[in-house]
Amino acid sequence: MANPTAYLPLVVIGRGGHARVIADTARACGQSVAVFLDDDFAAAPSGLHVEGPVRALIPKYIGTHRFAVGIGDHRFRRAFAELVLAQDGELATMIHPSAIIASDVTIGAGSVVLAGAIIGTGARIGRFTIVNTGASVDHDCTLEDNVQIGPGATLAGTVVCRRDAFVCSGATVIPKIEIGAGAIVAAGATVIKNVTAQTMVAGCPAMEKKTLRAHAD
């Protein structure tokens, strides 16, 4: 049965580049974008209908609109997504028409799969997750909540990315690797061994560069 709320107009939280990519994806899917919400609404680019502040206006659109969080920073993306859910709002899950998704893939609420991305059979995508432009997530991968896979990044089969992990643009992860919670794989890195939670790795092969500060929820 079709979900009737899928036809509700969209509210995009954020007004920057990622928010505009989200809006473009929505339009490519034939969905209407009603408004952008941003705390810095007075500095919005011309041509965008932006209102704010965000927390004050979310309740205005609950029940009549769906929400997409167009923020790249994982801390704010998760915080606003959870705020919408806490108020019984609906998070839109969007897949660009040019993405290739296997029929048995599962994708959680509020996640986005952008233009040219490929997700292979058996993959499981959590909530609030970004599979960015041209990224490849191969068979049986698991991306937990609030993961971001950057443009052109490649995850081979059975890779696991724990909550809040970020695999940056052009990185490659070989099969059966685990990327720990909150870890960052730098752009262009080649990952051939597991990455510890809250660390940054870079290089080819990827090596640990620094320990990241964990952020309280």
Active site residue 18: no
Residues 33/12, Cβ–Cβ less than 8 Å: yes
| Cβ atoms 36, 16 nearer than 8 A | no
Phi, psi of 7 (to 5 degrees): -100, 0
Q: Which of 18, 74, 96, 139 is catalytic?
A: 139
> Residues near 33 by Cβ (< 8 Å), separated by ≥ 6?
9, 10, 12, 23, 26, 27
Strand order in the sheet with 207-211: 94-95, 112-113, 130-131, 148-149, 166-167, 184-185, 199-202, 207-211
Q: Give me 1's structure tokens.
A: 């049965």
Residues with active-site annotation: 139
